[in-house]
Structure 1
Amino acid sequence: MMASTESHQTNGGTKVRLSDIARQTGYSLATVSKALNGKGDISETARQAIDKALKDSGYVRRNSPERQQRTIEVVFRDFDTIWALEVIRGILEESRRHGINVMIVPSGDRKHPDPAWAKGIIERQPIGAILVFSNLTDSERSLLQSHNIPFVVFDPSGNPALDDLSVQADNWMGGVIATRHLLELGHKRIGIITGPDEMLCSRARLDGYSAALAERGIPTSPELIAEGDFTTPGGYEGAMALLEDEQNRPTAIFAGSDLQAMGVYEAARQLKIRIPEDLSVIGFDDIQTAAYMGPALTTVRQPLQDMASTAARMIIDTTEGRQIQKRVILSTSLVVRDSTQRLAHAKA
């Protein structure tokens, strides 16, 4: 069989046969070949043992013709929002400069790609993958590494593994500067609509909010915290929960995303609450439409396109053998517009 004679040179120049790997691991040539080619019909134990033997031997896989197409896969849960379009734009612009194609792949949920994705990417052989919010299981990570497919976790939903490449904004400082801005305007009763609690960026923004309040000796009040999902409907629901009690309404709301801030605007409109006269609102992201909302939205800018182009460049640099920083955190900044103002009767 072809598998019995197939051999590759190691990085040191010594030829390694698949039959050597089979003999070393105790698995058949067919099983070794399946592990090598990413087939799914072998046990995880066998795959990990064979992958380790291949790696320890210095076995170098040939790049398939498909790999020469130079494609980066971008794994998204959903890409029908303005936020997603800005991320895609940044990846496309950086990839285009290097003559690389981009493929958008829908993921299973906000924390993990569809289970079939890992098998499919081995067959498609892109030069790398960008996972938006998603993390991989240990077996999926091992599978990609064994096939020399680097990946970058964009805005990770949890703490990435030590060896994972990742890029994100400074979400904690973003939460701090948003809340400080409202405090400096005299607001003390500040509501917040977070993102999903299981997402790292959401928790970091909430922690920044709490830290800024603590600087002024203001305790974090659970009744002023509403969990959202970074969408406009989630922002609307969170705002209605915070604003429905007229006697205990916050004077300002920090929305964990600009899309959620849009939902706050709609809730305020329905409740006949004026922005910013009765309620100051600050968002997070600075998507393109933020400046055109009525009133124009004060927000924390996270450089989405820069983050996205950085993720693409990390893939390209890894493929071309350049040394890179494994974890990149880009700064956030305050963009003051018309949706926040000094609280009436507050001291300047």
Structure 2
Amino acid sequence: MSPLKGRVTLATVAGSAGVSVATVSKVLNGRSDVSASTRARVQDVLEKHGYVGRRPEPVQHETVELFYQGVLNSYSVEVIQGVLDAGAAAGVEVVLSSRPPHPSRHSAGRAAPWVRDLIASGRRAAVGITSELSDADLAALSRARLPLVIIDPADVPQPDVTSVGSTNFAGGMSATQHLLDLGHRRIGYIGGPPTSACNQARMSGFRSAMDAVGAEVPKDYIWLSNFLYDDGLAGGSMMLDLPDRPTAIFAGCDEIAVGVMEAARARGLRIPDDLSVIGFDDTQVARHASPQLTTVKQPLREIGAVAVRTALQLAVGEPIASHHVELATTLIVRGSAAPHGLSSVAAS
């Protein structure tokens, strides 16, 4: 079926599906008096041609869709709390949903049905956490004039997609510089997906600080996977089993850092005497670790709040200061990093 040209209306969908306009309307409204085969045929046409429909009249309680992709962790919980708090302050209800990752943001495929669901549900705006959307999804949201704000985009954000994050590059530099100031030169980096924009920025900050003092970063001193505890455990195990292991590791998030600490303990290494570890985020995980984790603080709740406030500004047509907002990071010094050479084991 070739794509319909021009504006896709109920009449054009009905003609393509070989049904009446009333039948298409019933399918869109979830009516039960449509046969399964007819419903499937109409839905196929709707999906193939990216029909999203008109936004309904405002409902009594305005709602914002908050969606995430992947596994909930300590980072996302903090961001979600910020979104909920800001929504409550604005008198807006927040609907939380999970969306599976799209196979390719640059795919020329059809818009996901969930985009139509957002419009039909009368959402005022949509906020995504570390999300990746297809070009078809972005086009559908744009046609429906539904504002979208992405928190920490899963890849490098497009110029016309509004996003909120933190100063990841500066944070990566400050963490690494702290370890360098403590006398470390053999420093490893364990981070998230290679395509993740925030991971790229943190690793670039790490490399920049290392380059500034002429410190070598062997290829085995870089491990990229996901922002999860198990990735810290695996990456830490690999690095700590090297003949010339790092004396310090900068982890791309707190959960990775705690995984690294466990890998060290399993090998009889003490934190921070034998290995210094720094994380990123400053979640509850950092404060509950033993010893407490030195980490780069992101204002996660404020990031969530800024995303909601920005989305609501866009929803009413108010101008925004920037389409890409970065909130400042701060190094929080606790007990997981110490001067190099504190232990004879670390100096070996």
The TM tier, using the shorter chain, reads 0.7 to 0.9
- Given that 1:236 and 1:264 are in contact with CA atoms closer than 8 Å, whether structure 2 keeps it comes out as yes
Distance (whole Å) between structure 2 residues aligned to residue 267 and residue 109 of structure 1: 30
The counterpart of 1:173, out of the listed 170, 192, 197, is: 170
Per-residue deviation, 1:220:
2.5
The counterpart of 1:319, out of the listed 312, 315, 318, is: 315
Tell me the residue number matched to 2:221.
Answer: 224
The counterpart of 2:300, out of the listed 293, 299, 304, is: 304
Partner SS for 1:213 = helix
- Given that 2:313 and 2:319 are in contact with CA atoms closer than 8 Å, whether structure 1 keeps it comes out as yes
Per-residue deviation, 1:206:
1.0
1:65-105 CA-partner distances (Å, limit 9, x unpaired):
5x443111111124542212101100000000111111111
Are residue 236 (structure 1) and residue 228 (structure 2) matched?
A: no
Are residue 135 (structure 1) and residue 132 (structure 2) matched?
A: yes
The counterpart of 1:31, out of the listed 13, 16, 19, is: 13
Per-residue deviation, 1:42:
3.0
Q: For 1:248-327, list aligned pairs within 5 A.
A: 248-324=244-320, 325-327=322-324
- Given that 1:155 and 1:168 are in contact with CA atoms closer than 8 Å, whether structure 2 keeps it comes out as yes
Distance (whole Å) between structure 1 residues aligned to residue 251 and residue 302 of structure 2: 22
Distance (whole Å) between structure 2 residues aligned to residue 253 and residue 24 of structure 1: 55
Tell me the residue number matched to 2:35.
Answer: none
Which stretch of the first structure deviates more once superposed, 319-328 or 276-285?
A: 319-328
Which stretch of the first structure deviates more once superposed, 321-330 or 275-284?
A: 321-330
Per-residue deviation, 1:159:
2.0
Per-residue deviation, 1:178:
0.7
- Given that 1:111 and 1:133 are in contact with CA atoms closer than 8 Å, whether structure 2 keeps it comes out as no
Distance (whole Å) between structure 1 residues aligned to residue 254 and residue 342 of structure 2: 28
Are residue 108 (structure 1) and residue 108 (structure 2) matched?
A: no
Runs of 5+ consecutive residues of structure 1 not aligned to the other structure: 1-21, 55-60
Per-residue deviation, 1:289:
3.0
Q: For 1:67-216, list aligned pairs within 5 A.
A: 67-78=59-70, 80-109=72-101, 115-216=112-213
Percent of counterpart pairs with the same letter?
Answer: 34
Distance (whole Å) between structure 2 residues aligned to residue 162 and residue 130 of structure 1: 17
Tell me the residue number matched to 2:44.
Answer: 41
> Residue 210 of structure 1 aligns to which amino acid in structure 2?
R
Distance (whole Å) between structure 2 residues aligned to residue 257 and residue 315 of structure 1: 26
Per-residue deviation, 1:279:
0.4
Distance (whole Å) between structure 1 residues aligned to residue 210 and residue 301 of structure 2: 30
TM-score calculated relative to the size of structure 2: 0.81
Indicate how the Cα distance of structure 1 residues 47 and 275 shifts in structure 2: closer, same or farther if over 3 A, else same. closer
Distance (whole Å) between structure 2 residues aligned to residue 91 and residue 26 of structure 1: 34
Which stretch of the first structure deviates more once superposed, 269-278 or 126-135?
A: 126-135
Distance (whole Å) between structure 1 residues aligned to residue 277 and residue 319 of structure 2: 42
Indicate how the Cα distance of structure 1 residues 337 and 120 shifts in structure 2: closer, same or farther if over 3 A, else same. same
Q: Report how many aligned residue pairs link the two structures.
A: 312
Indicate how the Cα distance of structure 1 residues 242 and 68 shifts in structure 2: closer, same or farther if over 3 A, else same. same
Distance (whole Å) between structure 2 residues aligned to residue 30 and residue 110 of structure 1: 28
Partner SS for 2:217 = coil
Distance (whole Å) between structure 2 residues aligned to residue 299 and residue 268 of structure 1: 18
> Residue 31 of structure 1 aligns to which amino acid in structure 2?
V
1:204-248 CA-partner distances (Å, limit 9, x unpaired):
111111110000012322111112311011100010000013x31
Two-structure CA RMSD over aligned residues (Å)? 2.9
Distance (whole Å) between structure 1 residues aligned to residue 226 and residue 245 of structure 2: 21
TM-score calculated relative to the size of structure 1: 0.81
Tell me the residue number matched to 1:4.
Answer: none
Indicate how the Cα distance of structure 1 residues 151 and 41 shifts in structure 2: closer, same or farther if over 3 A, else same. same
**Which ranges of 4 or more aligned residues in structure 1 deviate by more than 4 Å?**
22-28, 32-35, 37-40, 43-48, 110-114
Are residue 341 (structure 1) and residue 338 (structure 2) matched?
A: yes
Runs of 5+ consecutive residues of structure 2 not aligned to the other structure: 15-20, 30-41, 106-110, 344-348
Partner SS for 2:45 = coil
- Given that 1:27 and 1:46 are in contact with CA atoms closer than 8 Å, whether structure 2 keeps it comes out as no
Per-residue deviation, 1:134:
1.4
> Residue 307 of structure 2 aligns to which amino acid in structure 1?
A
Tell me the residue number matched to 2:56.
Answer: 63
Indicate how the Cα distance of structure 1 residues 45 and 135 shifts in structure 2: closer, same or farther if over 3 A, else same. same
Partner SS for 1:300 = strand
Distance (whole Å) between structure 2 residues aligned to residue 70 and residue 176 of structure 1: 41
